[in-house]
Amino acid sequence: MHAATISYYTLFSMIPLLYFIVIGFGKILGQDFCIQVITDIFQKNVGLNDIEVYTDYLKNLNQQSRSWALNFVMICVLLYSCSAFMVSLKHSMNDFFDITPNKQHKINIFLDVLKFRFFSLSYLALIALAIFLLYFLQIFVFSILSSWFAMLHFEYLLLQYVFSIVLNFVVIIFVFKFIQDGKISWSLASKGAFLTAVLLFLSQLIIKWYLQHYFFLGRGDLVGSIFILMAWVFYSAQVIFFGAKFTYIYGKRYP
């Protein structure tokens, strides 16, 4: 139920989020570079080999980005869909960490929800920034090592896997630490995030292989890409929720 809800909100929040990543970070890094980063992440992590459906749509929207009406509509859609995604994720984390929010007056509850919805965009922006920084670090490390050594294919893949685990770790520790209503120490969050990051990486390899070879909609165009993305989010969310429950049990047993 939790994973299905996350998949549902991911579908509606993805395009507005990618749109503002492109026009936001694109002003600094270049919009073509941002689209290339998005393409690499979708191809290497998710297994979507043909994502021209998304990138062409982003380029088309990018050409209209000076339209204040389009920007206003996208901001409204982004505020609702992304904040709904983060609120749903927080409710799921509360369940798996067995956290019951304190009873408050209805006005205070409304203000807290409203505040969290607006902070959700900041959280997502920080996660996007971390992804871009890690991407730059990966390019830098690969360029340095390739200039010093003749890297073998195995060593190249190994470094890619390490960076994938680090990326998973950064995102998961952020979720465990901040996207819930309780208080979790950095030590506990880091231990749980590391285990979950490794499990998530291994499961993503299996999910990617399955979706590319056996998923019955895997060779479609737009519909196939949407179903692959939703299936990938669904199964990845299951691993993250397992990691959250493990972290909760570990914290209870070894306080």
Q: Please, what is the average pLDDT of the chain?
A: 77
What's the pLDDT at 243? Answer: 92
Residue 84 has pLDDT above 70, yes or no: yes
pLDDT value, residue 229:
79
pLDDT of 216: 63
Task: Average the pLDDT over 206-231 and give the result.
Answer: 71
- CA dist 232 and 236 (Å) reads 6
Closest by CA to 16, choosing from 53, 57, 66, 49, is: 57
pLDDT given at position 1: 65
In one-letter notation, the amino acid at residue 74 is M
Q: Write the DSSP assignment of 161-190 as a string of letters.
A: HHHHHHHHHHHHHHHHHHSSSS---HHHHH
Residue 5: pLDDT band (50, 70, 90) is confident
Q: Describe the chain by its helix, strand, coil percentages, rounded to 5.
A: 85, 0, 15
Coil vs helix vs strand at 220: coil
Residue 142 vs residue 177, higher pLDDT: 177
For residue 100, give the nearest of 188, 3, 180, 2 by alpha carbon: 180
**82 has pLDDT over 80:** no
Which of 137, 119, 238, 246 lies closest to 193, judged by CA?
246
- Token output for 89: 């994720």
Residue 35: per-residue pLDDT? 80
- In whole angstroms, give the CA distance from residue 226 to residue 232: 10
Q: Is 104 helix (H, G, I), strand (E, B) or coil?
A: coil
Distance CA 81, CA 117 (A): 10
pLDDT in tens, 149-185: 665 666 777 888 888 888 889 889 988 988 888 888 8
Query: Residue 104: its pLDDT value, please?
Result: 56
Q: Which residue has the higher pLDDT, 25 or 178?
A: 178
Asked whether the whole model's pTM tops 0.95, one would answer no
C-beta separation of 229 from 11 below 8 A: yes
